[in-house]
Amino acid sequence: MNISYRNMKKIKHQSRILACWTLAIIFFFPIFWMVLTSFKTELQAISIPPLFIFEPTFENFSIVQERSDYFKYATNSLITSFGATIFALIIAVPSAYSMAFFPGKYTKDILLWMLSTKMLPAVGVLMPIYLLADAAGLLDTKTVLIIIFAMMNLPIIMWLLFSYFKEIPSEILEASRMDGCSTFDELRHIVLPLSWGGVASAGLLSIVLCWNEAFWAINLTAGDAGTLTALIASYSSPEGLFWAKLSAASTLACAPIIVFGWFCQKQLVQGLTFGAVK
Amino acid sequence: MKKNIKILAGSAILAVASSAAVQAGELTVATVNNGHMITMQSLTGHFEKDNPGIKVNWVTLDEGTLRQRVTTDIATKGGQFDVMTIGMYEAPMWGAKGWLHSLEFGSSYDVDDLLPAMRNGLSANGNLYAAPFYGESSMIMYRKDLLDAAGMSMPDNPTWGHVQDAAAAMTDKANGVYGICLRGKPGWGDNMAFLTTMANSFGARWFDEEWKPQLDSPAWNHAVNFYVDLLTHYGPPGSSGNSFNEILALINEGKCGMWIDATIAASFVSDPSQSKVADVIAYAQSPVAVTHRGANWLWAWALAVPAGTQQSDDALKFVEWATSKEYINLVGEEKGWGSVPTGTRSSTYQNMKFLAAANFAEAEMKAILSADPSNSTQEPTPYQGVQFASIPEFQAIGTAVGQQMSAALAGTISVEDALAASQKAAEREMIKAGYY
């Protein structure tokens, strides 16, 4: 059987679309299942075989709101995510600028070392950080989360900004210097406007990572500074059924960041794939 | 620019100062997300009303995280929590180390009403260090309809041989019904809690009088082989990943003929809103092989006041309220007598309203009263505890052994190899800790 070149191309194109849809469904399924389970009763949530069609209930959402102050946790998530991102950007922008335009002998090594700190398991430094936070009177405060989240995301933000800044032709900066620009003016009037998209996508990525952080949020907070990830963790039970209520708490916790990510997806994808096809 | 920096620095200092300030009259209680604890949270308003000026904040965590958090906090004297929910494993050890306040209550508390097993298990050197909030032992929960259909019955104190016969009779794999469901998920509080009670009844023990591990003994070998054989033939697929909640889901769906686990499960499997088989569940005592000693475990979730808290007086008031007879009555009146926290006080089992609401009450109390943490094995041991040995090293040893047992159940390693590896791991840990 002869398949023409045009048909072959069409089949290839459709196969790619099918593969993309399959992958998208696989990635989306856990979120779909979480949302679906949040509308089930506890008995329906553990039903074997699993139920796809059932009479939905909003009971789990009202239980979550009754038992936990959702808005307090959401506000904490908002403050810590944005606070840590701003704090990290304040440090990362000048550092990345200096490394991109005035590289030293060890710039590459420093960048690699910064990235290597991401490979350390967080639990390895739990005790020293806990003791430091305790000594500084910062346990169960948003301040400690802002500091930790910022430090945690700093290497990624640094790398993203460094890659963006490297794309700016150095001739533009030389010209501005000849016109009498100070370092601060150069950063403010030349570098930042030219790489605004990169700074925004690094910031967005940092917000998403901070929002989803659970380890430090659970370990360093108690009653006051808990974020939405701590709220989710509180619905796991060693003795008793909890899947439906846990799913409702997770849906409420994920909803804001999913909506946020949806609106910012263009910038996020741009930031994550920058420099990938050189 | 300078002005901006000053404002930023000022704000940061203010934020730190304000967030670090201890709120007088505010109690932070760390707990797990179990039904009885959730009920306690919902009734906290009564305590706050009776004690104006005290506000209770709750930190609810899953069991593993709670253990890690409270251990970190108490060891570093972090003072993040004013009241902690701890278990029978931690209370005597932490009490003896001086990490917990000794609990002394007024005469109206009636400390002698606490079940002796619970009181002793939460004490060290004669001092009570945690007040039991709810207690549990283990027992058999079985489908009477399936057993009747098989022409069998379940004695009140069955042997493991009888349990095996009953499991075989109830198994109907074609219809997805398995004769017996038991914990298989690795963990000192998961599969090893159950397996230790089973091994106890087969005549095994964790350590001899000189603290030498005994996992290579014939009794352990016999018990683990029996366990693996039982679940392989009559248990559900994937038993090596099953713990309390997974089996609860299976039994509530009518997939298990029998379950041996915490007595607290009785309140779930007998609740028609959760279980499809609520009306056909019956109860019996944990099975016995060669000895009844240690055949059923003893555990309590208890409330303790850490030594690091700044508000010990208010914290004591809260613990006294939450573990009192009055609190049990309050739950009974407000939430129903089937929901009261059990396993802590003799008076609960004399309350006719509770006895009428809970068909498992008699079996539960019998199980709790028969468990003795100081005499839980056939041969003498230097440790306290039924399903655990009350030493700091046990968590690591129990979890390492649990992983081997789970692997044996999954069939990736033989029982003999699993026990040999367990013995080696336990010996290494005990020598490292300087026991011998």
| Residue in chain B lying closest to A68 (CA) | B58
pLDDT given for residue B19 in this prediction: 43
Mutation target for A interface from B59, B84, B138, B339: give the one with most A CBs within 10 A. Answer: B59
Q: Which residue has the higher pLDDT, B23 or B211?
A: B211
SS3 B135: strand
Closest alpha carbon to B57 in B318, B281, B270: B318
Minimum CA–CA partner of B268 in chain A: A240
Q: Which two tokens stand for residue B142?
A: 């079985």
Tally of domains within chain B: 2
What is the set of domains in chain A, with CATH numbers?
69-234 (1.10.3720.10)
The mean per-residue pLDDT over the stretch B71-83 comes to 86
How far A250 CA sits from the closest chain B CA (Å)? 15
Contacts (Cβ under 8 Å, ≥6 apart) of B164: B226, B230, B234
Best residue in B38, B41, B60, B86 for a mutation probing chain A (most A CBs within 10 Å): B60
* pLDDT, mean of residues A233-250: 84
Contact of B76 with chain A, judged by CB distance below 8 Å, is answered with: yes
Grade residue A1 by pLDDT with cuts at 50, 70 and 90: low
Q: Identify whether B385 is part of a domain.
A: yes
Are residues A41 and A244 in contact, defined by beta-carbon separation less than 8 angstroms?
Answer: yes
Nearest Cα to B208, choosing from B400, B378, B432, B372?
Answer: B378
pLDDT on residue B12: 46
pLDDT value for B24: 56
A-B contacts at Cβ under 8 angstroms: 116
Residues of chain A positioned with their CB less than 8 A from the CB of B65: 218-219, 233
Judgement on whether residues B35 and B125 belong to the same structural domain of the protein: yes
Instruction: Write the pLDDT tens digit of every residue in B397-413.
Output: 999 999 999 999 999 99
DSSP per-residue codes, B90-133 = HHHHHHHTT-BPPP---GGG-GGGB-HHHHHHTEETTEE-SEEE
d(CA B286, CA B139): 5
Q: What angle do CA A222, A223, A227 make, to 5 degrees?
A: 80
A142–chain B Cβ distance below 8 A for any pair:
yes
- Asked if B15 lies within 8 A of A143 by C-beta distance, the reply is yes
Q: Which residue among B34, B59, B275 sits closest to A239, beta carbon to beta carbon?
A: B34
Residues 6+ apart with CB under 8 A from A10: none
Do the Cβ atoms of A240 and B41 come within 8 Å? no
- Tokens representing B318? 């809260």
Nearest residue of A to residue B67 by CA position? A219
Distance CA B338, CA B357 (A): 5
Say if A125 is an interface residue toward chain B (CB within 8 Å). no
pLDDT of residue B22: 47
Tokens for B170? 């109830």
- Position A247, amino acid: S
Calpha distance A173→A187 (Å, rounded):
9
Of A218, A223, A238, which is closest to B32 when you measure between CB atoms? A238
> Do B251 and B185 fall into the same domain?
yes
pLDDT tens digits, B364-392: 989 999 998 889 999 999 998 999 999 99
DSSP B153: -
The reported pTM is 0.80
Which of A139, A239, A243 to substitute to test the interface with B, most B CBs within 10 Å? A239
Distance from CA of A66 to the nearest CA of B (A): 9
Same domain, B275 and B335: no
A76: distance to nearest CA of chain B, Å?
13
> Using CA atoms, how far apart are residues A240 and A42, in angstroms rounded to an integer?
10
> If you average pLDDT over every residue of chain B, what do you get?
90
CA of B304 vs chain A CAs: smallest distance (Å): 17
CA distance A25 to A204: 24
Q: Judged by CB atoms within 8 Å, which residues 31-50 of B form the interface with A?
A: 32-35, 38, 41-42
Q: Which of A130, A224, A234 is facing B76, going by the closest CB pair?
A: A130
DSSP assignment letter at B137 = E
**Residues B17, B27: Cα–Cα separation, whole Å:** 20
Whether the CB-CB separation of A19 and A13 falls below 8 Å is answered with: no
Helical spans, DSSP H, in B359-414? 361-370, 394-410
Binary contact (B28, A139; C-beta < 8 A) = no
Residue A57: list chain B partners with CB under 8 A.
none
Residue with tokens 């030389």: A174
pLDDT tens profile A205-227 = 999 999 999 999 999 998 789 99
Which residue would you say has higher pLDDT here, B14 or B45? B45
Q: What DSSP string describes B318-337?
A: HHHHHTSHHHHHHHHHHH-G
| Weakest-pLDDT range from A120-124, A129-133, B135-139 | A120-124
For chain B, the distance separating the N- and C-terminal CA atoms, rounded to the nearest angstrom, is 67
One domain, residues B284 and B306:
no
Task: Give the Cα separation of B90 and B32 in Å (integer).
Answer: 15
Note whether B35 and B113 are same-domain residues.
Answer: yes
Per DSSP, what are the bridge partners of residue B285? B139
For the cut 50, the answer to whether the pLDDT of residue B272 exceeds it is: yes
What pLDDT score does A47 carry?
Answer: 79
Residues 6+ positions from A50 with CB-CB distance below 8 Å: none
Over chain A, what is the mean pLDDT? 88
Given CB atoms, is B4 within the 8 Å cutoff of chain A? Answer: no
Rounded distance between C-alpha atoms, residue B393 and residue B434, angstroms: 11
CA distance A101 to A187: 11
Decide if A88 touches B, using CB distance below 8 A: no
Per-residue confidence band for B34, with pLDDT thresholds at 50, 70 and 90? confident
Q: What pLDDT does A2 receive? A: 61
* C-alpha closest to that of A208 among A78, A75, A115, A69: A78
In a domain, B173, yes or no: yes
Smallest CA–CA separation between B335 and chain A, in Å? 16
How many angstroms separate the CA atoms of B258 and B419, rounded? Answer: 27
**Quick one: pLDDT band at residue B421, thresholds 50, 70, 90?**
very high
Examine residue B175 and state whether it is found in any structural domain, yes or no: yes
Q: Smallest CA–CA separation between A40 and chain B, in Å?
A: 13
A169: contact with B, CB 8 A cutoff: no
Q: Are strands B281-285 and B123-124 parallel, antiparallel or unpaired?
A: unpaired
The DSSP output letter for B278 is G
The closest alpha carbon to B344, from B196, B94, B128, belongs to B128
- Please say if the pLDDT value at position B18 is more than 70: no
Q: Are residues B399 and B411 in the same domain?
A: yes
pLDDT of B301 above 90: yes
Q: How far apart are CA A8 and CA A16, in angstroms?
A: 12
- Considering the domain boundaries, does residue B37 fall inside one? yes
Cβ-defined contact of B34 to A48 (cutoff 8 Å):
no
pLDDT at B4 over 70: no
Tens digits of per-residue pLDDT, B164-188? 999 999 999 999 999 999 999 999 9
Nearest by Cα to A94 from A152, A146, A155, A162: A162
For residues A272 and A132, the model is more confident at: A132
Q: How far is CA B425 from CA B386, B394, B397, B402, B412, in A?
A: 21, 11, 7, 11, 18
- Answer with the residue of higher pLDDT: A83 or A200: A83
- Asked if B244 and B173 sit in the same domain, the reply is yes
Q: Which of B303, B389, B374, B364 is nearest to B89 (CA)?
A: B389
Closest listed residue to residue B285, CA positions, set B186, B395, B154, B407: B154
Task: Please check whether residues B276 and B408 belong to one and the same domain.
Answer: yes
Range of the domain at B405: 138-297+375-432
B359 in contact with A, Cβ within 8 Å: no
Nearest C-alpha neighbor of A96 from the set A106, A111, A116, A83: A111
Of B357, B385, B402, the one marking the end of a domain is: B357
Confidence of residue B431 (pLDDT cuts 50, 70, 90): very high
Q: Which of B151-160, B267-276, B305-314 has the highest mean pLDDT?
A: B151-160
State residue B1's pLDDT score: 44
Question: Looking at chain A, which residue has its C-alpha nearest residue B63?
Answer: A238
Kindly list the residues from chain B whose CB atom is less than 8 angstroms away from the CB atom of residue A46.
249, 252-253
Query: Which residues does chain A have within 8 Å of residue B297's beta carbon, measured at their own beta carbons?
Result: none
Confidence of residue B17 (pLDDT cuts 50, 70, 90): very low
| Same domain assignment for residues B185 and B125 | no
Question: Helix, strand, coil shares of chain B as percentages rounded to 5?
Answer: 50, 15, 35
- Identify whether B338 is part of a domain: yes
Element (H, E) at A69: none
ipTM value of the model?
Answer: 0.73
* pLDDT (0 to 100) of residue B357: 87
pLDDT at residue A276 greater than cutoff 80 = no
Q: How far apart are CA A60 and CA A41, in angstroms?
A: 8
Average pLDDT over every residue of A12-17: 92
Residue B278 CB neighbours (<10 A): 15
The answer to whether A234 contacts chain B (CB < 8 Å) is: yes
Which ranges of chain A does DSSP label H, i.e. alpha helix? 5-38, 42-45, 59-67, 70-101, 107-116, 126-135, 142-166, 170-178, 183-185, 192-194, 196-212, 215-220, 228-233, 243-263, 265-273
Chain B residues in contact with A130 by the CB 8 A cut-off are 72, 76, 78
- Can you tell me which residue has the tokens 């993203």? A160
The distance of B67 to chain A (nearest Cα, Å) reads 11
Inform me whether the pLDDT recorded for B105 exceeds 70.
yes
* Domain containing residue B383: CATH number: 3.40.190.10
In a domain, B9, yes or no: no
Residue A112 has pLDDT above 50, yes or no: yes
Look at A70-74, A261-265, B36-40 and tell me which has the smallest mean pLDDT.
Answer: A261-265
Distance from the B383 Cα atom to the nearest Cα atom in chain A, whole angstroms: 26
Same-domain status, B225 and B326? no
Task: Give yes or no: residues B65 and B179 share one domain.
Answer: no
Neighboring chain B residues of A131 at a CB cutoff of 8 Å: 76
Q: CB–CB of B16 and A141 under 8 A?
A: yes
B403 and B273 share one domain: yes
Q: What is the mean pLDDT of residues B71-91?
A: 88
Least confidently predicted of A43-47, A76-80, B378-382, B403-407: A43-47
- Are the C-beta atoms of residues B88 and B300 closer than 8 Å to each other? yes
Q: Does A259 touch chain B (CB under 8 A)?
A: no
In sequence order, the 6+-apart residues with CB closer than 8 A to the CB of B422 are B215, B400, B401, B404, B405
